[in-house]
Amino acid sequence: MNRRAGIVLCGGRSRRMGRPKAWLPIGRELMLQRVVRLLASAVDPVIVVAAPEQVLPPLPESVVIQRDPEEGQGPLRGIAVGLNAAFRLECSGAFVSACDLPFLQPGFVRFLFDQLISDRAVCAPNVGGFIHPLAAVYRTHLGIVAEHLLRTGRRRPWDLIQSVPHHLLTADDLRSVDPDLQSLRNINTPDEYEAVFREILTKEAANGASPHGSQQE
């Protein structure tokens, strides 16, 4: 079980955004398509955890879709579903990502796996006093631990992290592979989305790419 998986949680309700983040156009792709593509550059397989009846954008056939049996239970439920799926696929560890990390860098993902030392079960960024549980690497056997926590009413990802031996990486640690910490930059509001959309559009235009090329093909 030496395979490295990636898990993307996309079943949230996106209350502050006001519409599903997975379907947000982001340059030549939709948000979920972009995060899956970036993650797939570092790991295999990629597992997408979605709500029971959630409609997803088109994704590569290699992507494993898992449905959260209980909608509205928070990200720890999605983490448990994803880790259990990764364990069944004989993966020893998994990078767990939100679906709104458009600047996720494959080197950042690989670095976190490399920092998951043998006696620890989680490796997570700790930047500015904030732990990032949805940009972290977990041992896949923790799916069972997460389920136990949920049964006892503990529903925060931090509940899982603090219940097992873990390794927290500082901003200085992470800047060795991601100098501006762009991999941790997520999108929660329409204003943040507009800023990111324009930024990526400008970069693609500078590279001579059609901003909607992949959707027209």
Pair 207, 165: CB distance under 8 Å: no
**203 burial via Cβ count (<10 Å: 0-12, 13-18, 19+):** exposed
> Between residues 85 and 202, which one has the greater pLDDT?
85
* Structure tokens, 144: 């069972």
Fold of 3-209: Spore Coat Polysaccharide Biosynthesis Protein SpsA; Chain A (3.90.550)
Share of the chain above pLDDT 90, in %: 77
What CA–CA distance (Å, rounded) separates 39 from 155? 25
- Per residue in 144-181, pLDDT (tens digit) is 999 999 999 999 999 999 999 999 999 999 999 999 99
The DSSP code for 217 is: -
Place of tokens 């560890």: 93
DSSP string, 142-196: HHHHHHHHHHTT---HHHHHHTS-EEEE-HHHHTTT-TT-GGG----SHHHHHHH
* Structure tokens, 197: 């959309």
pTM of the model: 0.91
- Per residue in 39-66, pLDDT (tens digit) is 999 999 999 999 988 999 999 999 999 9
What CA–CA distance (Å, rounded) separates 211 from 180? 24
| Amino acid at the residue 39 | L
